[in-house]
Amino acid sequence: MKCIFCNSTDSKVVDSRPTEDGCSIRRRRECVVCGKRFTTYEKVESPMVLVVKKDGRREAFNVNKIRHSLVKACEKRTVGMDQIDAVTDRIERRVYNTLDQEISSRELGEMVMDELKSLDQVAYVRFASVYRQFKDINTFRDELNKLLHD
């Protein structure tokens, strides 16, 4: 493993333990050259899942895009990164647990909206306004009314 401080590839594992969700191993490493410590995570390689876009294009599922969207939607809200990471992990597990090699961007967007609806309603509306491409105030109001009725 390459040291993040000096780029040496010579390090030793000081501590290993499973993460809270049990899906990866957290390792504390110490660089043999510079003596500094850093953390790495070891995770089972997931199968390739392709996201089918609205226009039919396909691209590899990238969980970081989900995380980035969640961070943007929750900006200046009281939602912590630990909550965003938990939502991201749940969505990632749902995608891989379907055992399908493809998922539509619509399904993925609905998963994000389901999670945001229970996490933070303002973040939900922010995400929905971009995802559903609200054209005017009436579509925005309709979405708010659905949220209020739920």
pTM over 0.85: no
Judging by DSSP bridges, how do beta strands 58-60 and 50-52 pair with one another? antiparallel
* Bridge partners for 40 per DSSP: 27
Query: 59 near 53, Cβ under 8 Å?
Result: yes
Query: 131 near 109, Cβ under 8 Å?
Result: yes
Give the three-class secondary structure for 4. Answer: coil
- What are the extents of the domains in the chain? 11-43, 50-149
| Tens digits of pLDDT across the chain (150 residues) | 899 999 999 999 999 999 877 778 999 999 999 999 999 999 877 788 999 999 999 999 999 999 999 999 999 999 999 999 999 999 999 998 888 899 999 999 999 999 998 999 899 888 888 877 777 777 777 777 777 777
